Amino acid sequence: MATEVILPKLGQTMEEGTIVQWFKQEGDSVKRGEVLFTVESDKATLESESPARGILRRILVPAGETVPVLTPVAVITRTADEDISAIATEAPPPSVVGAEPEPEVSRAAPSQPEASKAPPGRIFASPRARMRAQEMSVDLRALAGTGPGGRIVERDILDHVESQPKATPMARKRAVDLGVDLANVAGTGVGGKITQEDVEEAHRALAAAAAPRPTPAPVPAIRLPQAEVVSTAPLTGLRGIIAERMARSAHTTARVTLITEVDATAFVDVRTQLKAQVSQEWGFAPGYNDLVGLIVARALRELPYMNARLKGELIEYLSSVNLGLAVDTERGLLVPVIRDADTIGLREFGTRFRELVGRARDGKSLPDDLSGGTFTITNLGMYDIDAFTPVINLPELAILGVGRIQPQPVVRENEIAIRQMMVLSLTFDHRLVDGAPAARFLQRIKQLVESPYLLLG
């Protein structure tokens, strides 16, 4: 009996994964529980085990390819000559949790009548179809539904996208905005996929072609030296996920960044005292990230309107403060999440943070280590960065950027004094909160940094 090996769902938020490496080849014997391959999600790289004993007859998804979760990636049989012709090589897109089921719809052959169209005016589409259309930038008005009464279902969206040139979601959205036909755009992305830049370049070319041009005077051709490409890297896996999410955040949020300068002299003193007093007992020296994390968690508890996210057309205010702290790893930027950060002390905060960072940098993060965050902190102070505009980690409301601490001359009580100064940058989504409430939140963080004894008292 043949057994399909599926791409596992490694966590609640995982939607797709990339096969990193196969440890077995077609024709090899495998044991139940033996590691077959490694899979990379947006959270971590984990090993996937064989669900059965037998022969690895066929690998359906080679290393380097990204597919949705629950997609069949291989076939295992008990014997080497077992017929596997009936095993599907592709699985339908995974169901969306909470979405209503859709009826099975057979694809009409050319000789069959066309699918009935919905009445003019209102567009009838299932919730899953609307969600897919939004994700893939498909105009529902251009489709004829194959569901009951001409209703548009998810399969209609997927069939339409399959029939179109390969393009990224941002490219499709940009094409709709600019009125560019993707059929006339040459793709420069991976595998010839059309990117947003390709669409914009095609639009500029069309605009230039339509504009009247004066006859230019002939000029001698000048051949400029071209830079040599020394290497390339595919925009896939974690790097591709980061690129897609950062672009989506930049294009879908109404970003505003507030910047404030903070006197961190007392903050530095407290950290120095704690380092001397508790490092041996705790097994680690409390750092600035630990203290900033506790301060932000305290501010979120006091001003809960900043502990929110956008879901559809609803602003959800959250009861738990799950604090994400951005970490630089060899694989790229990861954000481990400390859950219920407002309910724990400095020692537990520091212990959890170091465990999460260690797993992230070793590529061994658990599926839930990097999900469920409600607010993110990113610190570039160790790279001598004073201030910056961080990108919101969707679907969160805001992110706090922390700059370096350095001594500077400042005026205190009409006298110049040397103080330890730091810059904080709060980027927030103006759709969810106004400037004044966001400023009060940043002001509260500043107060706690300048008087850190209030936090420890």
pLDDT confidence of 122, banded at 50, 70, 90?
A: low
Q: φ, ψ for residue 422 (rounded to 5)?
A: -145, 150
Cα dihedral 26/27/29/34 (nearest 10): 0
Backbone conformation region of residue 292, classed left if phi is above 0, alpha if psi is from -120 to 50, else beta: alpha
**223-237, 334-348, 351-365, 404-418: the lowest-pLDDT one:** 223-237
pLDDT-derived band at 140 (thresholds 50, 70, 90) equals confident
Q: Is the pLDDT of residue 110 over 50?
A: no
Q: Which residue has the tokens 């941002």?
A: 170
For the sheet containing 45-49, what is the strand order? 45-49, 35-40, 16-22, 66-68
pTM score of the predicted model: 0.59
Residue range 243-254, pLDDT digits in tens: 878 888 888 889
Mean pLDDT of 136-152: 77
Residue whose tokens read 């990636």: 73
C-alpha pair distances (Å), 125 with each of 130, 161, 173: 6, 16, 20
Nearest CA to 365 among 323, 321, 329? 329
Between CA 335 and CA 368 the distance in angstroms is 11
> pLDDT tens across 325-355, in order?
999 988 888 999 999 999 999 999 999 999 9
430 is catalytic: yes
- Of the chain, the end-to-end C-alpha distance in Å amounts to 66
3-77 CATH fold: OB fold (Dihydrolipoamide Acetyltransferase, E2P) (2.40.50)
Question: Which structure tokens are listed for 206?
Answer: 């069309």
| Interior angle at CA 239, CA 179 and CA 354, nearest 5 | 140
The pLDDT score that the predictor gives to residue 82 is 84
Distance CA 318, CA 198 (A): 40
Position 89 pLDDT exceeds 60: no
- pLDDT tens for each residue of 245-285: 888 888 888 999 999 999 999 999 999 999 999 999 999 99
Question: pLDDT at position 330, please?
Answer: 84
Indicate left, alpha or beta for 312 from its phi (over 0: left) and psi (-120 to 50: alpha). Answer: left
- Select which of 160, 203, 251, 430 is catalytic: 430
| Top mean-pLDDT range of 95-99, 190-194, 423-427 | 423-427
Average pLDDT over residues 66-74: 85
- Please give, one letter per residue, the 3-state secondary structure of the chain: CCEEEECCCCCCCCCEEEEEEECCCCCCEECCCCEEEEEECCCCEEEEECCCCEEEEEECCCCCCEEECCCEEEEEECCCCCCCCCCCCCCCCCCCCCCCCCCCCCCCCCCCCCCCCCCCCCCCECHHHHHHHHHHCCCHHHCCCCCHHHCECHHHHHHHHHHCCCECHHHHHHHHHHCCCHHHCCCCCHHHCECHHHHHHHHHHHHHHHCCCCCCCCCCCCCCCCCCCCCCCCCCHHHHHHHHHHHHHHHHCCEEEEEEEEECHHHHHHHHHHHHHHHHHHCCCCCHHHHHHHHHHHHHHHCHHHCEEEECCEEEECCCCCEEECEEECCEEECCEECCHHHCCHHHHHHHHHHHHHHHHCCCCCCCCCCCCCEEEEECHHHCCCCCCCCCCCCECEEEEECCCEEEEEEECCEEEEEEEEEEEEEEECCCCCHHHHHHHHHHHHHHHHCCHHHHC
Assess whether pLDDT exceeds 50 at residue 62. yes
Distance CA 203, CA 275 (A): 58
Q: Give pLDDT, residue 323.
A: 97
In this structure, the strands spanning 72-77 and 54-59 are antiparallel
Measured distance CA(74)–CA(67) in Å, rounded = 13
pLDDT at 107: 38
Report the CATH number of the 254-456 domain. Answer: 3.30.559.10
Contact criterion met (CB below 8 Å) for 242 and 332: yes
State the pLDDT at residue 225: 78
Inform me whether the pLDDT recorded for 119 exceeds 60.
no
Backbone phi and psi for residue 404, each to the nearest 5 degrees, phi listed first: -75, 155
Q: What are the boundaries of each domain within the chain? A: 3-77, 254-456
Q: Would you say residue 121 has pLDDT above 60?
A: no
Lowest mean pLDDT among 109-113, 200-204, 399-403: 109-113
Q: Are 373 and 353 in contact (CB under 8 A)?
A: no
- Who wins on pLDDT, 456 or 159? 159
In the predicted model, is pLDDT for residue 77 greater than 70? yes
